[in-house]
Amino acid sequence: MTQTARQSRGQPFTILTVVGARPQFVKAAAVSRALRGQSGMRELLVHTGQHFDREMSALFFEELELPEPVRNLEIGGGSHGAMTGRMLAALETAMTGFAPDAVLVYGDTNSTLAGALAAAKLAIPVIHVEAGLRSNRRSQPEEINRVVADRLSTMLLCPTRAAIANLERENVPGEIRHVGDVMYDATLFALERVRDRLAPLDRLGLRDRNYAVATLHRAENVDDGDRLRRLVDYLRTEAKEQPVVLPLHPRTRERLSRFDVDTTGLLLTSPLGYLEMTRLLAGAAHLFTDSGGMQKEAYFHRVPCTTLRDETEWVETVEAGWNRLWQGGPRTGQREIADYGTGTAAARAVEAIRHHFRI
């Protein structure tokens, strides 16, 4: 049924949202809250299962008040190609069954790529939230996912002006809109719930501003034993100045064991839920991370960040003096980043969708 036919029969404009990994749960929660109660619209959430354990998936749904998925594909593990292929087939079946008017994808994971490909092959419009980011490193799976998803998208909702410039330089088709960063919306939501919680700090024997937080999970860092060892040694050196808490992604824990990496001096923990991680980061003196999203979260909490990579797609965090590459130069003077908005990015995204599809 076409969109016009749906509307003429009084049926809502249906958006099928594809999520699969922690950063997508956080972003989708903000947009889902903005979509709820919208007249003439409804959202169906499909979880690919890319992150499938409680700490990486179910707990996030609970804490972020995400709606229950209408389908969990339970596809996790395996190579990039195998995982993406299984997701593509399963999502095609789901989209054929639910017949959405548009498919919404987030960020740069295999779930993003599979969702965009499945929708495009079924001639369903694709909406990409966090479009236009570029690390300009094609060896990164995330960069490939971003570029392909952007080329397939009908609507490209960008967090920054730099992202818009990237899309314009590449002559990417589709409507390009700057809406701000939905991660900032999510951070404000979480802060209201954790501001007075001290349990994560008490459990680790920490006080606000007397510790650093670190995260490591990207394949380029943890799948190479020599590089992983160098990064951990770097963190161990930093830990001589202040405690460094390292919540371990399941893959990172396995690689540390496989490569027999010495983590002496670091405070290792199991993966944390979103609210606990928010509280830990909000009270930190510094963040060391290879996560794209956490570079921004550090800025939202005004916590200086060191990115454990050789480049970053969030170039404005470096230009504004809140971030630096671990082997780069010193930070510049700190300034505010206006592009991220004021915490209304999700509402602006929904407004842009309504306008584009004339809902």
Active site residues: 217
d(CA 303, CA 286): 6
- The amino acid at residue 37 is G
| Contacts with 8 (C-beta within 8 Å, 6 or more apart), sequence order | none
Residue 107 DSSP class:
T
- Which H or E run includes 276? helix 274-282
Cα separations (Å) of 250 from 5, 8, 88, 217, 247? 47, 49, 24, 9, 10
| Contacts with 41 (C-beta within 8 Å, 6 or more apart), sequence order | 12, 13, 14, 15, 35, 350, 354, 359
Burial class (CB in 10 A: 0-12, 13-18, 19+), 312: buried
Residue 170 DSSP class:
T
Q: To 10 degrees, the CA torsion angle through 247, 249, 251, 255?
A: -10
d(CA 359, CA 356): 8
d(CA 121, CA 243): 50
- Which H or E run includes 222? helix 219-222
d(CA 296, CA 313): 11
E-assigned strands of the chain?
Answer: 13-19, 41-47, 71-72, 102-106, 126-129, 155-158, 175-178, 212-215, 244-247, 267-269, 286-289, 305-307, 323-325
- The amino acid at residue 198 is L
